[in-house]
Chains A and B, each alone.
Chain A
Amino acid sequence: MKEQELLRKLISGNQSAFKELIDEYGSMVFNVCCRMLGNRHESEDITQDVFINAFKSIKKFRSDSKLSTWLYRIAVNHCLNYQSKKKRNRWLSFEFFSATESGNIPEPVSNENLPDILIEKKETEIIIQKAINSLPEQQRVALLLHRYEELSYEEIAKVMECSVSAVESRIFRGKQNLCKKLLPYLNQL
């Protein structure tokens, strides 16, 4: 009911409704961007672009899915476009010849006041995140939405605009590949 009301206000071009939308879904969109891009500063820029895009295309929104699903879709597409553009620009700007971005992982929060066990868990989580980010695009998106955003297969299918069985197969293959990537790390422990 609340969402319908917000949507009605957004379509009518109400700016305070847009502010409400950002307050409600800002963290959600920023989270997806952080998970996908692994860089806080880039994620901030993309989050802004996602909401600008949402504001411009709100009239195209069909009410057959939730507002959050629609925002997830815009965020995922923006992140993928941004990454491919970045890759292309690296070729043009000759950054390609410089070292690869191996440290492209989410910035962890300060560990100062955390007990050792939590620090260890945080480091392990960073390794998992890094392994997920090295998966093929479709598997990576499906797995990120499943693990970190805790979306159902149906919701992921709506975000990725594919069938539920395709999502199942992407997550299955993603977990299999992730296991392959994590095993060498486990052997070191």
Chain B
Amino acid sequence: MTHSNIKNKLLLYIDGSLNQTDASEVERHLPQCPRCKKHIAMLSEIWKNKPAIDKFTAPPFLWTRIEAKMSNPVQNLSSGGLSYSLRITTAVFILLIAFFIGNYLGKLPGSETKSPANFSSAEYITRSYHFDTFQPISEESIGQAIILTSYQNK
């Protein structure tokens, strides 16, 4: 094992979780590597430092609080999954309203778009240059535009 492999196994060595082969490799490496030797001393001190581990005591009036929460299931629901599902429902509802408003506005008189078949050739060419027509410019219209421009230039 290389130094980089061994340094990540120091905690396992301290804890006695390494197998015999790996443990003896670590033992062989330690006298040659002052860095690992230093790390192992520090790690074993902090890892075995059990007295510093605090035990938390249960919050006061736990039973009273639980009893209150159980007798008021509405509060219990609102703090959990309901708020999340409510948010999703609201988002879907807003999207639906936006869709219907858009659809309604699109159907208002005057907002109809002419189909390309109903355009005069000049109008068709002009509209083809507009970015808001959403119509792909056909090769035919490009040809017409070239002819029209050359005709106007003459």
**What is A's interface to B at a CB cutoff of 8 Å?**
19, 22-23, 26-27, 29-31, 34, 40, 43-45, 47-49, 51-52, 55, 85, 88-89, 92, 106, 108-109, 118, 121-122, 124-125, 128, 148, 171-172, 175-176, 178-180, 182-183, 186, 189
User: Which residues on A sit within 8 Å (CB–CB) of B9?
Assistant: 176, 179
User: Which residues on B sit within 8 Å (CB–CB) of A128?
Assistant: 46-47
CB contact under 8 A between A88 and B11, given known A52-B66, A55-B70: no
Candidates A85, A108, A124; contact of B49 at CB < 8 Å: A124
Interface bracket on B: 35 or more
Give the distance in Å from the alpha carbon of A44 to the alpha carbon of B59 in the complex.
7
Candidates B17, B38, B49, B84; contact of A125 at CB < 8 Å: B49
CB contact under 8 A between A179 and B10, given known A92-B87, A124-B49: yes
B62 CB-CB contact with A under 8 Å = yes
Please report the number of residue pairs spanning A and B whose Cβ atoms sit closer than 8 angstroms.
Answer: 100
B117 CB-CB contact with A under 8 Å = no
**What is B's interface to A at a CB cutoff of 8 Å?**
7-12, 15, 17, 38-39, 42-43, 46-47, 49, 51-59, 62-63, 65-66, 69-70, 76, 79, 81, 84, 87
Chain A binding site: helix, strand, loop or mixed by DSSP?
A: helix
A124→B84 contact, CB < 8 A:
no
A48→B17 contact, CB < 8 A:
no
CB contact under 8 A between A48 and B54, given known A121-B49, A179-B43, A183-B39: no
Could you write out 27 A-B pairs with CB less than 8 Å apart?
A23-B63, A27-B58, A29-B58, A30-B56, A30-B57, A30-B59, A43-B56, A44-B65, A48-B65, A48-B69, A51-B66, A52-B70, A52-B76, A55-B70, A121-B46, A121-B49, A128-B46, A128-B47, A171-B17, A172-B12, A175-B11, A175-B15, A179-B7, A179-B10, A179-B43, A186-B39, A189-B42
